[in-house]
Amino acid sequence: MSTESHSQTAAFIWSVADLLRGDFRQSQYGRIILPFTLLRRLECVLEPTKVQVLDAAQEHVSKPEAVREKLLLRAASQPFFNASPLSLATLSDTQPADDLMSYVQAFSQDAREIFEHFHFEEFVQQLSASNLLYQVMQRFASIDLHPQRISNYGMGVIFEELIRKFAESSNDTAGEHFTPRDVVHLTTSLALTGRDDKLRPHRIVTVYDPTAGTGGFLSESDEYVQQVSENVTVSLHGQELNPESYAICKADMLIKGQDVSQIKLGNTLSDDQLAGEKFDFMLANPPFGVEWKKVQKQVTDEHKQRGYDGRFGPGLPRVSDGSLLFLMHLVSKMRDVQGRTSAAEGRMPGAADPREDGGSRIGIILNGSPLFTGGAGSGESEIRRYLLQHDLVEAIVALPTDMFYNTGIATYVWILSNSKPDERRGKVQLINATERYSKMRKSLGSKRQFIDDRNIEEIVRLFGVFEETEESKIFPVEAFGYRRITVERPLRLNFQASPERIGKLLDEKPLQKLDEAEQQAILTACRSLDGDTTLYRNRDAFTKALKAALKAELQQEHVKLGAPALKAVLNALSERDSEADICTNKNGNPEPDTSLRDFENVPLDESVFDYFKREVQPHVPDAWIDEGKRDELDGRIGIVGFEIPFNRHFYTFVPPRPLDEIDADLKACTDRIKAMIEELSA
């Protein structure tokens, strides 16, 4: 069958929705049509061996369930079976719901589980209550989905078309589980292009998606490999959190003859069900800006207890966005090969310079936050630092806005590899594809634009040629790094025992803890300092005078003022004064003024002292660098940070219009308003 025929078949199947209109919401159509399509395809595939399976079921009826299932799978010559004599065409019209569920329960476990996650029985009962069930069954029984007419590949195309229609019909929530086909196609093409070494004949290529959704990336990667290579076996692996999306993904794999045992249900971050597995290619579209509080304990425990031997060694992002956790999870599954450093030396699994196994490549869609959120020393910055310093980031592509069903925000495709070709080593390519889009005829939720095939080919070409253009910039990895140094300035205070300042004394907490007699003694001592006329610009001189006054008063109360209380008195009677003497500590060194503390980001490849001398000292000669603030990993002055200011590198300054042009426009506008007012008043 041609692609056009596949689309026609998909359209005919979707036309069943005409029966459902009025009794079901539009967003529910797919939840009925998809499992019925799967059911019809499975019975068409099993038809040639149905008699053998029924005979085997009768013969082995008394054997243990596990043994019996293996024997029936052998009889079916498929990775699934159905031991019921019924079919959609032979189900009765008197008790269709009971017969249909009996038929579905007769499937082998993998297939039966899919229908359970679709909540199939619930919808069957609703169809029955609406007197629609028998009509729907008869409609599907009439559709020819036999393998002789439609191959596994063709059936996959049909099923994907139905999934797309389901996504469009439920676009209010589609973005959580469906990635638009154009974005899938672009990301897959970027990740798989140029890896002919992986796609040689008679090889097994493994593909993994930790947020599989309905299986769009897995299907697209399989299709891509089959188009560009011959005799390559594609082994698909995935995990999905949402049971319904998991069911659709598993059904799609089953329809295509894939091993569905490698499609898992569960939370990838807290329960990696493919732990220890490594993959050639990894593709993902994790949810944007979704918090990971539910799995915070498991993730934090793994980070602390396993370090770089686990998935989250470099650090953890803020709990409000788990995108970078998925990215690190994928990096941990890059193929281990000989090369750089071991995990004990600060390398997560996969970060190597491969020659033995060809390494792995990742394509992941992220929002803008992972590019720059988090300053030096934060979890996000440390993750970027790890990825860039281990030379894993190959390219980042900025997509147009309004590309997804449930959000119009800016998004980016990150391409990571631990097997960069020589010309890409130590470099990162940024591609600005924000203008490469076409407008959709009809918006689908927030999706108003799409990337057509011509633009996809051009973006992939820009990535492949690896050259500097207006849309493509190439940077050394160090260009994204910096050291955040702490710049201090000296504390300068004046002191005066004026009535206004004395009035603030009892606001100080250490003084509030003293008894009333002690408080009064302190107030009397301070008032004796002639605050109306004397202003001290040297802390030592004022402290000496204050202590003398306090000693005279407090001796009468037979008490001694402690250091916290004395500090509180000094604090209440002081104000910052740029003309006052510098306050020094016991060692004679200037004390820093925390209110004047500042930070400077020094490019990673520049001396912090040269930068400070050039950029800071000319403006604030009395400033100095706090040399105690050092990076944990390299021990040098300043905290290392990494960020990727994507938009800054593609920003083009557009000068404002001349003022006379603006004035002319304003005059023309006001003249029109005056004319309109005159017409109304005439």
3 state DSSP class of 240: strand
Q: Residues 6 or more apart from 352 whose CB is under 8 A from it? A: 334, 336, 337, 338, 339, 340, 359, 418
Look up residue 209 and give its two tokens.
Answer: 């998606």
Domain assignment of residue 356, yes or no = yes
Closest CA to 431 of 220, 289, 644, 221: 644
CA 415, 418, 421: angle at the middle one, nearest 5?
85
Report how many domains make up the chain: 3
Q: How many angstroms separate the CA atoms of 478 and 133, rounded?
A: 64
| 639 contacts 602 by C-beta, under 8 angstroms | no
| 407 contacts 500 by C-beta, under 8 angstroms | no
Alpha helices in 332-378 (DSSP H): 369-372
Domain that includes residue 507, residue range: 493-576
Above 50 in pLDDT, residue 216?
A: yes
Give the CATH number for residue 284: 3.40.50.150
Find the mean pLDDT for residues 450-454.
Answer: 93
Above 50 in pLDDT, residue 352?
A: no
Find the mean pLDDT for residues 341-369.
Answer: 65
Find the mean pLDDT for residues 135-164.
Answer: 87
Domain assignment of residue 180, yes or no = yes
At 363, the pLDDT band (50, 70, 90 cuts) reads very high
Look up residue 496 and give its two tokens.
Answer: 């005066």
What percentage of the chain reaches a pLDDT higher than 70?
94
CA 369 to the chain's CA centroid:
8
Same-domain check for residues 472 and 535: no
Residue type, 537: R
So what's the pLDDT on residue 340? 43
Average pLDDT over the chain, rounded to whole? Answer: 89
Q: Count CA atoms closer than 13 A to 217's CA, side-chain side.
A: 33
Domain assignment of residue 609, yes or no = no
At 81, the pLDDT band (50, 70, 90 cuts) reads very high
Q: Which of 576, 593, 608 is the last residue of a domain?
A: 576
Same-domain check for residues 475 and 507: no
Same-domain check for residues 142 and 232: no
Q: What is the CA radius of gyration of the chain?
A: 35
At 343, the pLDDT band (50, 70, 90 cuts) reads very low
So what's the pLDDT on residue 1? 56
Same-domain check for residues 469 and 500: no
Above 70 in pLDDT, residue 588?
A: yes
Q: Which of 96-110, 290-304, 365-379, 645-659 has the lowest mean pLDDT?
A: 645-659
Q: How many angstroms separate the CA atoms of 349 and 392, rounded?
A: 12
Above 70 in pLDDT, residue 164?
A: yes
For the beta carbon of residue 600, count every other beta carbon within 10 angstroms.
18
So what's the pLDDT on residue 355? 33
So what's the pLDDT on residue 599? 97
Q: Tell me: the pLDDT tens digits for 265-276?
A: 999 999 999 999
| 330 contacts 237 by C-beta, under 8 angstroms | no
Same-domain check for residues 467 and 510: no
First to last CA, the chain: 73
So what's the pLDDT on residue 441? 84
Same-domain check for residues 472 and 509: no
Q: Residues 6 or more apart from 463 whose CB is under 8 A from it? A: 190, 193, 395, 397, 415, 429, 431
Find the mean pLDDT for residues 274-285.
Answer: 94
Same-domain check for residues 361 and 227: yes
CA 415, 313, 391: angle at the middle one, nearest 5?
35
Find the mean pLDDT for residues 429-453.
Answer: 88
Look up residue 135 and give its two tokens.
Answer: 């009509």
Same-domain check for residues 242 and 367: yes
Residue 368 is classified by DSSP as: S
At 19, the pLDDT band (50, 70, 90 cuts) reads very high
Domain assignment of residue 643, yes or no = no
Domain assignment of residue 598, yes or no = no
Look up residue 344 and give its two tokens.
Answer: 């004990």
So what's the pLDDT on residue 171? 54
Look up residue 667 and give its two tokens.
Answer: 């005059």
| 198 contacts 357 by C-beta, under 8 angstroms | no
Residue 585 is classified by DSSP as: -
Domain assignment of residue 644, yes or no = no
So what's the pLDDT on residue 490? 97
Same-domain check for residues 373 and 396: yes
Higher-confidence position of 662 and 164: 662
Above 50 in pLDDT, residue 83?
A: yes
pTM of this structure: 0.83
